[in-house]
Amino acid sequence: MAEKTEDEWRQALTPEQFQVLRGHGTERAGTSPLNVEKRDGVFNCVACGQPLFTSDTKYESGSGWPSFYRPIESAIAATTDRSHGMTRVEVHCARCGGHLGHVFPDGPKPTGERYCMNGVAMEFTPK
């Protein structure tokens, strides 16, 4: 994991990015321009540049957040999140540990998973 102090992360990220990536926050549904991104390319961690998802695994889930059915191999890590009175699987960048969102078991085939990601935690690189 990329080792930075809290102050270094605050300097490197916008306030909204810091709140999501380092504070385990969530952006408001429907606010990310990545919701409508349809070009071929790669979605990377905005904090460290780690490639996370390819555009061919993105789909419209109707959730209000960019959704994918499969991450790039070894790109993410997951932990159990018991906040908000429920148990969920929290998704982090495997390189820097930044909070990206959650994964749910209600996605499309072939995986049946929905990686519901905060758009503010990612940046898109077109092919």
Could you tell me if 64 and 30 are in contact, meaning their C-beta atoms sit under 8 angstroms apart?
Answer: yes
Closest to 47 in 3D by CA, of 64, 71, 23, 70:
23
Of 45, 93, 96, 116, catalytic: 116
DSSP-derived secondary structure for 41-83 = EEEEETTT--EEEEGGGEE--SSSS-EES-PPTTSEEEEEE-G
Per the annotation, the verdict on 116 as an active-site residue is yes
3-state secondary structure (DSSP) of residue 125: strand
Neighbour tally for 108: CB within 10 Å: 13
Rg over alpha carbons for the chain, rounded to the nearest Å, is 14
Give catalytic residue positions: 116
